[in-house]
Structure 1
Amino acid sequence: MFIRSITMDEVKLACTSSNECGAQEASSQKDTLLDLHNQIAHLFCTRLSENSIMVIQEKLQLMQRSSYYLEIQHDDSLPTADQQQQTLNLSDSTVLSLIDQRKLRRAMTLANTQVKLLLTLLGMLYEEIISGCRELEVFIIKYDQGLVDSDMAASTQEKLQRTHQYLNDFESRLTRNLGPLDLQNQLILNTGQYPMPQLSASLATKMPVMFDRCESRVTSNAAHLCWGVASQQSKEPCQEFEIHMKSLHPTADQDQFIKSTCQSYSIHFNNLTPDRYYQFSVKRVDTVNLVYGLWTDTIILKTVSVFK
């Protein structure tokens, strides 16, 4: 049997080759970590910047504070470009007399559930985005300290991909239409005398009502309050608002609680007591087709003192 001896040159060549492979692997890993670092840094400058996070939070709050309404459309014929589906007014007694109230309540419950699911999902996505932001920040700190290993890099890469997906899902849910609702049964009472009109149901969203804290003001015995609708540039006509006013003085009389409704975007209260705190709240007047709306804006103002 012939056994070839290994020369010293071959040993050096093998060692050199092994060292080169190790160096290439280390260089490749360093490039991978640097690329991951740059991806995260770019995300922090764009979609996860401080301003972007504030915008996401504000969008979530707007959705949580909005009012949601069930709308019933008469859609026997497809609407043309200049003719929309006719929305039925559920507060109209004639319309209500045609609708099966038991089925309407089911539709309202379905709509309420759909809104709650959407708001819960948006809240969960927001929490996941914030959680991902914290974990990605930890990676940046560890990277700068030279303490990142391959396992941490792999988990961070996965977290980065999931955070991108959460951001995409959050944005898509904000713009996705809440309707139409899938009604298994027609809402119209079937008397058998006439053909039943075809109805469809959808959810309409109205942005929250909020006090204009710059325009609202008090004197020694009066308060002038102004409000508007979030994200709404012009004032929509035919909107009805409910305003509450009460004194926060511990010995205030019961008649110092006032409830008013108006169709304007401002109201004036007279005969207030000087040097006293008053609490005011405003919201839209509840309607029969309101399925979800918890937000009421509140402001506390103190009347001016009167010195003798």
Structure 2
Amino acid sequence: MAGISDESHTSLEIAVPSKGHDDASQQMYMEKRNFVLQILQTTMSPHHIQHYRNKFEVFKKCYFYVDIEPRHVHARDQNHVMHCTDIMQLIDPYQLLKIKKKAKNQIEIEMLLIAELLEQLEQGREELRRYIMTCDMITFLAQWPLISKRLHQLSKFMATLVSLDMPGKLHIKHHLLLHADLRGTRLPRFRVSLRVKMPLIFDRKGSFACKNSAKLKWFDKNQEPHLKPYELHFKLLTSEIHREMGYSRIQEATSTSCVVQGLLPGRSYEFRIGRPDTQTFILVKWHDSITLTTTTEDAVGSACAAE
């Protein structure tokens, strides 16, 4: 997609009266030109559009889950006895699978929509900038109906973009059915929505390799009330010199760092951090990865100690 170029303050200047035109036309030109200029420097500024592009780049890397609240409900069984039950025990797996499929489609459509909106806003901004920079008063006023129409269109695009939560909470508009054998009882109330979790990013300064091990650290911006599991995938990278078969492993962790043991000296490994699959997981399109090379000699005071 097209990038956004930032102009200096001197490239787009407030219009001032000039000689040779009647006062009414000149005043109209100044008002309309300055109106467009104000938009280019505020809601359509490179900084403002880039802000939403940056949010979109994060959004594309997020993890998406079906969120069912509350997680524990009080439900009466067929004998009218009240029980506190995990809501997932009452969910029909087939219906949950259908909702996850619809949610995935919703996410992918939204990603396409956001990408198109950003593209249209960047193109529209460049069109408006050209009107400001190249048109004289007569041409600008003659083109004003087209400029005004384009402004209205871009305003709607921006309003749509702002209305989309990136990466906020999105609601799934379906009814989640429970097990068939529960339909004759009093059903608990619950809400179904889409939960977004921020991507996991390696701490590249805090991750390093020793002779036979490596220490990996990563950042998790999600505020979790309790420890969450992570999966560290890693594989040996093969080369022309080392012709043995490459291998890969998965190591689980419950904190944002871990030590991997049993590595070969003087070899390169690719590490990838992720979250384990769960019953409510929908989609993730990106995982952060880092390549580290083990040393050939033992380092003095090595920090690659088992945690």
The two structures share one fold, judged by TM-score above 0.5: yes
Alignment CA distance shift 1:218-1:51 (3 Å): farther
Gaps of 5+ in 1: 1-21, 78-85
CA apart distance, 1:149: 3.8
3-state SS of 1:139 partner: helix
Q: Does 1:166 align with 2:162?
A: no
Which residue is equivalent to 1:40? 36
Which residue is equivalent to 2:226? 237
3-state SS of 2:117 partner: helix
Alignment CA distance shift 1:269-1:115 (3 Å): same
User: Which segment is superposed worse, 120-129 or 189-198?
Assistant: 189-198
C-alpha contact (below 8 Å) 1:36/1:157 kept by paired residues: no
Aligned-partner Cα distance in 2 for 1:206–1:193: 36
Q: Alignment RMSD, CA only?
A: 3.3
C-alpha contact (below 8 Å) 1:190/1:196 kept by paired residues: no
Gaps of 5+ in 2: 1-19, 75-83, 299-307
Q: Does 1:107 align with 2:96?
A: no
Alignment CA distance shift 1:216-1:235 (3 Å): farther
Which residue is equivalent to 1:63? 59
The one-letter code matched in structure 1 to 2:47 is N
What TM-score comes out, normalization by structure 2 length?
A: 0.73
Which structure dedicates a bigger proportion of its chain to helix? 1
Alignment CA distance shift 1:213-1:35 (3 Å): farther
Q: Does 1:138 align with 2:130?
A: yes
Aligned-partner Cα distance in 1 for 2:96–2:67: 11
Identity %: 22
What TM-score comes out, normalization by structure 1 length?
A: 0.73
C-alpha contact (below 8 Å) 1:70/1:204 kept by paired residues: yes
Which residue is equivalent to 2:177? 186
CA apart distance, 1:255: 5.7
Q: How many residues align?
A: 266
1:1-308 equivalences in 2 (<5 Å): 24=22, 27-73=23-69, 88=86, 90=88, 95=89, 98-143=90-135, 148-174=139-165, 177-179=169-171, 181-183=173-175, 186-191=177-182, 194-230=185-221, 232=222, 237-250=226-239, 251=242, 253-254=244-245, 256-304=247-295
Aligned-partner Cα distance in 2 for 1:296–1:87: 34
C-alpha distance after superposition, 1:4-42 (max 9, x if no partner) = xxxxxxxxxxxxxxxxxx954xx4343333333323333
